[in-house]
Amino acid sequence: MNMTEAQHFTADGLRGTLQQNVSMRRHTSWRAGGCVERMYQPADLADLQLFLRSLPAHEPVLAVGLGSNLLVRDGGLRGTVLLMHAALKDLRIEADGSIYAQAGVAAAKLARFAANNNLRGAEFFAGIPGTVGGMLTMNAGCYGSETWSFVERVQVMTRSGELLERTARDYDIAYRSVVKRETGNGKREKHDSFHLSPFTFHQDEFFVGAWFRLQAGDGEASRQDIKALLSKRIASQPLNLPNAGSVFRNPTGDYAARLIESCGLKGKQIGGARVSEKHANFIVNMGEATATDIESLIDAVQAQVLAATGIKLQCEVRIVGDAAGGEAK
């Protein structure tokens, strides 16, 4: 980045924190990967608007929450990462009884907040290791429930900093997929984990908040449900090692973990990356795994399951950046 660009990225009035050449190992749950050219943590929603308006139109932007569904290749990431967690963190009960949560609010925090306000339905959020932004983007879910079943409307910000509201009617919503419906130019904009989402480059808009509609209930019962859910999660998932949650989407009528286990792939290891013996749909970092190790193991699992079953597992994790040596993939 030349000096003119550096001045442009520190525009007057910004209140957030700008860093350069930041390792994404510290900002992804896999604890692996390369560096990003720039990272900006906005002070709040208004500061994010100002920052986006200060960026050149061609600047690649990636929004990151807890980095729990993200792999950044070892060659690093060109452009700017927006660090949303602990930045967009507003969480409140509205006058109409809905919950407003900004994109940086952790899913587990939202679950507890709902229970403490005697609202039912959000308990499963405690099992999602991410933030509201990621939940909205991929229609995250677990234990039979999905995010968008409880969304009344969303708040989005355009690449130019315009703040808008949309409802579920503006999207085609499916399993781990949220697709913006037809626009005036006849195109559909994808907001799932692979395409034009808040977590990929060159998107036109991304989620910054949402209003959730939940049923009145017994807060103590909700807290007990959350406790039971977390106990189940601890018992069934390898939470003692760095991981990114479920790596593959469940194919229709089956489970990715069952297919992987049926192929004898539990314990398969490449470098420091290993298919968990505890849950076959998890890849864990045994200590010094590189992003290349992890991606190679993902590819190997896909290839072996395809060869044995004829089913091509679809990756649920977002993989971005350049391969080691600087070549984009």
Report, as residue numbers or ranges, the catalytic residues.
Answer: 176, 246, 316
CA distances from 183 to 9, 164, 208 (A): 31, 15, 20
Burial grade of 50 (CB within 10 A; 0-12, 13-18, 19 or more): middle
Contact 111, 132 (CB under 8 A): no
Beta bridge partners of 92: 100
CB 310 within 8 A of CB 53: no
CA-CA distance, 290 to 261, in Å (whole number)? Answer: 24
Which residue type, as a one-letter code, is found at position 174?
A
Which residue, 320, 279, 326, 303, is CA-closest to 81?
Answer: 320
Tell me which H or E stretch contains 56: none
